[in-house]
Structure 1
Amino acid sequence: MSSSSSPAPSYAAVLRTRYACRTFGAALMGRLSYGMISLSLVLAIKEATDSYVVAGTVMALFGLTSVLLSPARAGLIDRHGPRRALLPMATAYALLLTALALASSWPGAPGALLGVLAVAAGACTPPLGPVMRTLWSDLVPDWRLLQRAYSLDTVAEELLFVTGPLLVGLLVRVAPSVGLAVSAALVLTGSLALVSSPAVRVRSGREKAPAGPAPSQGPVSGVRAAPSLRLLRGAPGLRQAIAVSAAVGMCLGAFDLLVIAFADAHEEPGAVAWMLAALSAGSAIGGLVHGAIPWRASNRLRLAFLAAALGLPLAAAGLSSRPHVLIVWAALGGLFVAPAITTAYVIADECAGPATRTRAGAWVNTAFNAGSAGATAATGLLVGRLPLPLCFTLAAAPVVLSAATALHRSRRLTLDTAAPIGLGRERRSDSDAEPQPSVSG
């Protein structure tokens, strides 16, 4: 689709793109499973073992395995295509979740068995998010629409992680393990629908491109290095996106725990839901607005400013006198969450060639999740030992520092070569050669 013949840039135009609704809907169905799995797993394991320690350990094993192996699973998608690699992962993942549901439905189930099943399931988690973002690059080759597509994807994912726990709250009335079974059904059904989409068939036809760094990634030392390492070494823009994504994850992971401590300190535990809801609502609004603005600044420069704009309000939130003040700060900071994540994914897409695009997005996703998990654990050690305002400042420090580093590096880049919306390159038709990224690569 050339830019001259494409529809006017809008979210409706994104959804009117051929195969977009079918493909995006299938991916969202499968990704709803990820919004449910954490709470479902904890509740089911707690019911089976009557131990929060076992439930927390099993959940940690599942999350750690899933996060650490995410780039490897994405590499399989890049190497073999979604149709050949995604479906076996989704099938194995669904079967293992079903086994977990059955095992956890027995009172007194061995914790070791539950842990082994959780680790195996985490290792097979299908990378539906990175796959969908890769497909957006093919579905929407017009640079005027791609940013809107990524913003829509990020906002929708944010809403899934709000809807998922609510759905689990309804299912738990039947039995705690039912949430695991429904998660298995969702991910398998969504993955089946996704790989049957004509968009995936077109994508699979392009998987014959040789693996390795994209032409835009420059010379790479050590030709025997793993593909993921070659990708990281040759793409400074991708390294920036990964660093900022990890910092955003750290900030948000710590914030989730700090608002609980803040509400307890003010004896208003009911305010926690409002604080987190304000953050999510701000993120959804900010993501939609960000995707609709024709940015002229480069992605890397814009990512730096978005990261700083996210961190500063959340640091100031620690100085709030009352919970309702913190809710306002959370909403302000939330305005920049989805835009920052969206921009990081756009940069990852720019820095990757056709054979590494899924893997590049998976690195950004992995960095976010790893940062969130690590910061949550670290914050748990700091709360009660340090004043809460200082804890909020420390939580925001990584994202502000990452912004400063990114801004320093971006000053060496020229802005006049950026595409009108800041995607850093103009997308051409599928028959054209892969374009070289300019300011964001």
Structure 2
Amino acid sequence: MSAPSSRPLGAARPSYAAVLRVPYARRTFAAALVGRLSYGMVSLAVMLAVTRATGSYAVAGTVMALFGAMTVFLSPLRAALVDRYGPRRALIPMASLYAGLLCVLAAAVWRPGTPPVVLGTIAALTGCCAPPLGPTTRAVWSELLEDRRLLQRAYSLDGVAEELLFVSGPLVVGVLVRFAPPAAGVALSALLVATGTAAFVMSPAVRDVRGVGARSARPVRSVRVKRRLAGGRGLLQPVVVAAGVGLALSAVDLLVIAYAEQRHHGDDVVAWVLAALSAGSAVGGLLNGAVNWRTPARVRLPLLTAGLGLTLAAAGLAPGLGVLTVTVACAGLFVSPALTTAYLIADERALPDFRTRAGAWVNTAVNAGSSGGTAAMGLLVGRLPVSVCFLAAGGVAVAAAAGSGWGVRRAAAVTRRTPEALTRSAPPAGGH
């Protein structure tokens, strides 16, 4: 990928301000956040709109499951299109289809009467087209910043902003539905993703970026396969940890609800506890980005994940709501740093023609773990004490941290035969 010349800033004193002083960084980042706000809104908007239109929570849950599955599990495939054709050629068609289908879905649920099978079909097709704005944004950050310290700050800033988007998105929907049908939230999500994506790809930092498919000199197929296998093995550690973090975090939502019910608290306290988790994550992300770490990222990652797991396990022993809230907030301190570090490792291990996909695989692991954690914890809550369930959720994160140690050893083995070495052994382009 090519990018505007911003390399001299990499030598400046690393800070968040230095990141935003990179040419076109603020414009590009703001545009991406507008598009990504759509993802913070769309789940709640679709859920409310389908429930209102059909009067059935079962139908709404099924529609959301289809939408979520297509969005999450096809994300690496859509990211591969970005790697191959470049952001502009790949994201504009995807965003146009996605926004158009969201508008079709909004029209279908504006009034009752649309058959559930039609709603499910539209939702599944919509999920198939969701543009991977998060992974693409992180890939662009990686191109803009050669200094790894600045890149760490950029990823931390990106992670905190994403956390805030997923907190503010439902709030926007909540305000909107006071004055308009929930389907209006779906339509607004379509507008945001269309305008945000268009502004993002038209930024000078992104506009001239070309995919690997547009480059004239490419290694022969056998070498490309070997290079991708080497990069894929390097992704094992961040993907395993991301899945464990997603699973543990999704369990917290149900466990806080169960804790509040057992202690006879109102539903409103659940929102405050989960808000403390998000606040802790935001603070942890900012602190993580501000530190000049001497410990390698692949060593920090299991430590951060283990810290999350141990803190969640301790939350089950909280004697009251106040202690639980503080403990959950402390657990949040590890969330954003762990995910940011996972994305950094994925970027370090990825080849240029695999960079967007690398971030997408980490993102998919988080979301897949979250879905699996919700289902698994739903089976445990009610059968086991809440304290034991907290211990199980924390144990998953600790197990992921321990398992990722094997990923570190595999990554070290891959490093012995680097992609550059494979490239040097390749015959000249055109040697087919």
Aligned: 1:253 with 2:250: yes
1:185 and 1:412, CA in 2 relative to 1: closer, same or farther beyond 3 A? closer
- In the alignment, is the contact (CA less than 8 A) between 1:232 and 1:238 conserved in 2? no
1:192 and 1:391, CA in 2 relative to 1: closer, same or farther beyond 3 A? same
Q: Which residue of 1 aligns with 2:425?
A: none
The one-letter amino acid of 1:323's match is L
1:378 offset after TM fit, Å? 1.3
Q: Which residue of 2 aligns with 1:187?
A: 193
Matches within 5 A, 1:69-84: 69-84=74-89
1:58 and 1:412, CA in 2 relative to 1: closer, same or farther beyond 3 A? closer
SS at match of 2:23: coil
- In the alignment, is the contact (CA less than 8 A) between 1:61 and 1:115 conserved in 2? yes
1:144 offset after TM fit, Å? 2.3
1:175 and 1:413, CA in 2 relative to 1: closer, same or farther beyond 3 A? closer
Matches within 5 A, 1:394-433: 394-407=392-405, 410=408
Q: 1-side partners of 2:391 and 2:222: how far apart?
A: 42
Deviates more, 1:123-132 or 1:7-16: 7-16
1:190 offset after TM fit, Å? 0.3
Deviations 1:379-404 (A, max 9, x none): 11111111111111111222101111
Q: Which residue of 2 aligns with 1:136?
A: 141
Q: 2-side partners of 1:205 and 1:408: how far apart?
A: 33
Q: Which residue of 1 aligns with 2:261?
A: 264
Where does structure 1 lack aligned partners over 5 or more consecutive residues? 214-221, 418-424, 426-432, 437-441
Aligned: 1:24 with 2:29: yes
1:343 offset after TM fit, Å? 0.4
Q: 1-side partners of 2:126 and 2:243: how far apart?
A: 24
- In the alignment, is the contact (CA less than 8 A) between 2:234 and 2:411 conserved in 1? no
Q: Which residue of 1 aligns with 2:158?
A: 153
- In the alignment, is the contact (CA less than 8 A) between 1:19 and 1:139 conserved in 2? no
Deviates more, 1:260-269 or 1:358-367: 260-269
The one-letter amino acid of 2:60's match is A
Q: 2-side partners of 1:110 and 1:188: how far apart?
A: 27
Aligned: 1:203 with 2:209: yes
Taking structure 2 as the reference length, the TM-score comes to 0.90
Q: Which residue of 2 aligns with 1:330?
A: 328
1:339 offset after TM fit, Å? 0.3
The one-letter amino acid of 1:155's match is V
The one-letter amino acid of 2:204's match is P
Q: 2-side partners of 1:152 and 1:324: how far apart?
A: 29
Q: Which residue of 2 aligns with 1:178?
A: 184
1:188 offset after TM fit, Å? 0.2
CA RMSD of aligned residues (A): 2.6
Aligned: 1:349 with 2:338: no
Answer 1 or 2: which has greater helix percent: 2
Q: Which residue of 2 aligns with 1:321?
A: 319
Q: 1-side partners of 2:50 and 2:211: how far apart?
A: 42
Deviations 1:327-367 (A, max 9, x none): 01111100010000000000111111111100000000000
1:406 offset after TM fit, Å? 2.4
Deviates more, 1:27-36 or 1:137-146: 137-146
Q: Which residue of 2 aligns with 1:65?
A: 70
SS at match of 1:244: helix
Q: Which residue of 1 aligns with 2:240?
A: 243
1:152 offset after TM fit, Å? 0.2
SS at match of 1:319: coil
Q: 2-side partners of 1:291 and 1:209: how far apart?
A: 34
- In the alignment, is the contact (CA less than 8 A) between 1:152 and 1:288 conserved in 2? yes
1:236 offset after TM fit, Å? 3.5
Q: 2-side partners of 1:46 and 1:409: how far apart?
A: 43
Q: 2-side partners of 1:79 and 1:413: how far apart?
A: 25
Q: 1-side partners of 2:386 and 2:421: how far apart?
A: 48
Deviations 1:285-341 (A, max 9, x none): 000000010001111110010000111111111111111111011111000100000
1:186 offset after TM fit, Å? 0.2
- In the alignment, is the contact (CA less than 8 A) between 1:101 and 1:180 conserved in 2? yes
- In the alignment, is the contact (CA less than 8 A) between 1:30 and 1:187 conserved in 2? yes
